[in-house]
Structure 1
Amino acid sequence: MTLTRVLALPRRPRRRLVTPTSALISLGVLAAAVVVWQLAVWIFRIPSFILPAPSDIALQADWGTALSALAQTALSTAAGFVAGNIVGYVGALLISSSRTVSSIIFPGALVLRSIPVVALAPFITLAFGRGPAATVVVAALIVFFPTLINSLQGLNSVSAESMELMKVLNASRLQSYARVRIPASLPSFFSALRIAAPNAVLGVMTAEWIVGGGLGHLVITSWLALQMQTMWSAVVLSAILAAALFSIVAVLERTAITWARTT
């Protein structure tokens, strides 16, 4: 029996990631939404420059350009997501370890979070240029604060009894973190990752509106050119990217912390 289990970190029963019933329900809801969308365009005769039908998007969009833009956005999103969450979690570890460090890092993080990313975009562009590096930085800025707050809450959620037990066992500060605080913070950390997943895609696309490239730039350029089918293809691909990243986080969570109870 490991020390983690001795310290009453609850174990949950293993559950299948996706059951056939839930998968069918999800696919049915998605198919129904597409059918309603298609019928609404036909019945109400909505002009394609306002809302094209799904069939028009599938047949008339420039999917080659859209998929190329998706690859660029996906790479920037992944890099920003990883970097932002690492910085957020390390920041939470530092803040929880020392009040002095907390008084230095936390106010700065709060001020940085309160500034709209759009307002920071010109400075980011000057520092990192008009390219993928700027979009990675924007994504990292968006995701790091939720990870910082949630991870800090998890690190501080350890019961006094557990910490007293570590003192009785003569554990060092590093051992207390490795055996108690960090495992206790993982459920909150993964909750932050689920929140950050779609936000990272949004952050990258917002940056791409400004610096160019990727799905964000494609949305703007195709809209200005009245190529609404291509614009909507970019929107659809961005939603798929966000859902895929969220699903990856969910799989990692269920694999990494099988002992935690989740709703």
Structure 2
Amino acid sequence: MNFIKIMGMRSLWIAAAAKPYGLSITGKMDKGIVFDIKEYSIHDGPGVRVTVFMKGCPLKCRWCHNPEGISPLPQCNSRTGKMTGREWTLEELTKRMDSYRPYFHNCGGGITFSGGEPGMQADFLLKFAERCRGIHKLLDTSGYCEPKKFSALAEQFDMVYFDLKLIDDAAHRKYTGVSNQIILENLKYLMGTQKKTILRMPMIPEITDTRYNLESAGKLIVEVCRPETEIHLLPYNKLAGGKYPVYGMEYPLKNWYTKNNTDNIEHFAGWLSGKGYQIKNYV
């Protein structure tokens, strides 16, 4: 990708970021920016899957373990000397995913779109979904997406992994860089549908695993989430900062890690289980 093309993408990104939700990074519906495609994934949805990591994220979570997914622009990996992130046309990605159809049929898997935040390239994903019918598609999202585009994605995808981090808006702004109001709005919409949804909650020591945040999360879940909602409590990735130096970035939580407050987490899990929710505590 040449310099002029990258600068053009940068200008489009700045323009998009000035809009209410910073939705699209290129303004194109026929091209998307992908920074990785992981085959034989067993942790990103039902069956054995192919996970497509879309580049660009409006959140700046301090514990992010995919820093190469934050910027919408290609970045140089100083360890390999190669660029991370490239454009894929609809035709290219459709052809690649179509090649896995026999594999998906045999293993009951499908495609998971993760990131970054895939909702930032909603137009591209919607066009892809129209072309790639008959394959199970899962959206792994922070929920930070323009509501009209989010509802369109939810309609086209078979399943949603929805992140829930911090309930207090001020704390959400502090640790992720954005308000959570649009996220909560989209969660409420999603729970009003019959879409298969798994709520995923990262347990970050002294940030999301506090008694206050978990009590607030519990009240919200009981208020808006269907009783059959499955909830996954995810452990903090101790190696989260490992990739930052190779992209010339500094890990925001350097030397931060302490042990999770397992008492808070276990109490939270037990309380929600008593309300009828399916809890999987991976901490």
Please indicate the TM-score interval, normalised by the length of the shorter structure.
under 0.3
Instruction: Considering fraction of residues, name the structure with more strand.
Output: 2
Q: Report 1 or 2 for greater relative contact order, CA contacts < 8 Å, sequence distance ≥ 6.
A: 1
- Greater radius of gyration (CA): 1
Instruction: Considering fraction of residues, name the structure with more helix.
Output: 1
TM-score in terms of structure 1 length: 0.21
